[in-house]
Structure 1
Amino acid sequence: MTLSPTSTAQEIIDRLRLLGSEENIAGMARFGIATEAALGLSNVELGRMSRQVKTDHARALELWRSGIREARILAAFTADPKALTLNEARRWAGDCNSWEVVDTLADLLVGARHDRALVPEFAADEREFVRRLAFAMIATAAVHLKTEPHSTFLAWLPLIEAHAADDRNFVKKAVNWALRQIGKRNAACHAPALALAEKLAASADRAARWTGRDAVRELSGSKVLWRLGLAV
């Protein structure tokens, strides 16, 4: 079966099932990926498949509704950012049960520029993967939104500080990721991000302290300082 832009959601799912690998599923589990609904295809394979089937928003909605890990990642790859509504984004966020689906979805939501509305909303949500999505969006935006003013990212630093004490693994790592990516964005963002990292590193809270120390280590490193023109 050769996939094409006219392939239906069911044809794509049938292809996913055909290519599935039990061995790969076992490997995914070792990386903390939820495998209950996984077929065992890598994101590289799914990226290749997304280029074959192209963008189709209606079909992406069908793929997501299947609940299959690979179909959901393909849905995020092939949904139309211009067509994705806020309510669709909220529903997809609420369905997430694995960090790598969250991080793939973050790319789509930033492309749709839903980060502006959903970052604070999702950060306030107590669900682990919804909150992770807020900070994954910040990290993704810091890398990919090249023309966005640095004030956008500095305005998110208080949100990072507010949730740095969330010790749930997938939230903690995303908060840390967001802080590091803001600090590495440019020289204007570096100093405020590093200052927050140093503040968190001195915190009495273990999760906040871990986030701060890890961020300080990277943001103070010669590689980052050289790239930003801050090395002495």
Structure 2
Amino acid sequence: MLSPSSPADAVIAHLKSLRAEENLAGMARFGIETKTALGISNAELRRIARSIKRHHARALALWASGIREARLLAAFTAEPEKLTLETARLWAGDFNSWEIVDGVADIFVEARLGAILIPEFAADQREFIRRTAFTMIAVSAVHLKDEPDDTILAWLALIEAHAGDDRNFVKKAVNWALRQIGKRNAHCHGPALSLARILAAASDRTARWIGKDAVRELTNSAVLLKLKV
């Protein structure tokens, strides 16, 4: 049985014992990189993370293994107060799947690295690193309740600047970030909806898709009722 004191090699051995080859094809259909995957579900990984708890040195060793499931566990069990910019950049350089990006973005945000990494990653031409910037914006809009709204709204400029990036995993993250800012609260709703409408009328096809989809959600009656706008 795994426990909070289990070392990385024991965790990895346990993961390998759970290998489920039959799940790999399904993962691949969802755009998950399966070259180093064992086929273990995220639900099972979350269960394991709860049993082994946070342990930063072990998380670093799990990431270094290169195994998809070990890397997700690294993100789930790293200690945010110990996560450095150097480590975050190192991990980002290894990103090869939208799933890994979205699994790791939470810890980057929890470590309060967004002020530096979001603009840095948005400027990076690599698809998954740029996706990370906008995933972090989306996560921040939802989870950083104590962050001033103006800090979150400032990211709208990056959304507008990169709304023309037509790469699938980037445009979906840009759209996600815009929608999450707009749903944060009534104060954020107006500026996000205004930008969505600007993008919806853009000549660029990708920006237009991002804008129209965001307008559709931000004008949904359920959203308006929840925000009381």
Q: Which residue of 1 aligns with 2:12?
A: 13
Q: Which residue of 1 aligns with 2:166?
A: 167
* 1:172 alignment partner AA: K
The CA deviation at 1:26 is 1.1
The CA deviation at 1:24 is 1.1
The CA deviation at 1:68 is 0.5
Q: Which residue of 2 aligns with 1:152?
A: 151
Give per-residue Cα distances to partners, 1:20-75, cap 9 Å, x unaligned. Answer: 11111111111111111100011110000001111111110000011100000000
In the alignment, is residue 216 of structure 1 matched against residue 199 of structure 2? no
Q: Which sits farther off after the overlay, 17-26 or 175-184? A: 17-26
Q: Which residue of 2 aligns with 1:180?
A: 179
Q: Which residue of 2 aligns with 1:52?
A: 51
TM-score in terms of structure 2 length = 0.99
Q: Which residue of 2 aligns with 1:205?
A: 204
Q: Where do 5+ consecutive residues of structure 1 fail to align?
A: none
> What is the aligned-residue RMSD (CA, Å)?
0.6
Q: Which sits farther off after the overlay, 189-198 or 20-29? A: 20-29
Q: Which residue of 2 aligns with 1:116?
A: 115
* 1:25 alignment partner AA: L
Q: Distance in 1 between matches of 2:63 and 2:221?
A: 43
1:44-123 matches, within 5 Å, as: 44-123=43-122
The CA deviation at 1:8 is 1.0
Q: Distance in 1 between matches of 2:156 and 2:47?
A: 36
Give the percent of matched residue pairs that are identical in Structure 1 and Structure 2.
Answer: 67
Q: Distance in 2 between matches of 1:60 and 1:116?
A: 23
1:130-149 matches, within 5 Å, as: 130-149=129-148
Where in structure 1 do 4 or more consecutive aligned residues deviate above 4 Å?
none
The CA deviation at 1:6 is 1.0
How many pairs are equivalent? 229
Q: Distance in 2 between matches of 1:21 and 1:208?
A: 40
Q: Which sits farther off after the overlay, 172-181 or 9-18? A: 9-18
Q: Where do 5+ consecutive residues of structure 2 fail to align?
A: none
The CA deviation at 1:128 is 0.5
Q: Distance in 1 between matches of 2:146 and 2:56?
A: 26
The CA deviation at 1:224 is 0.5
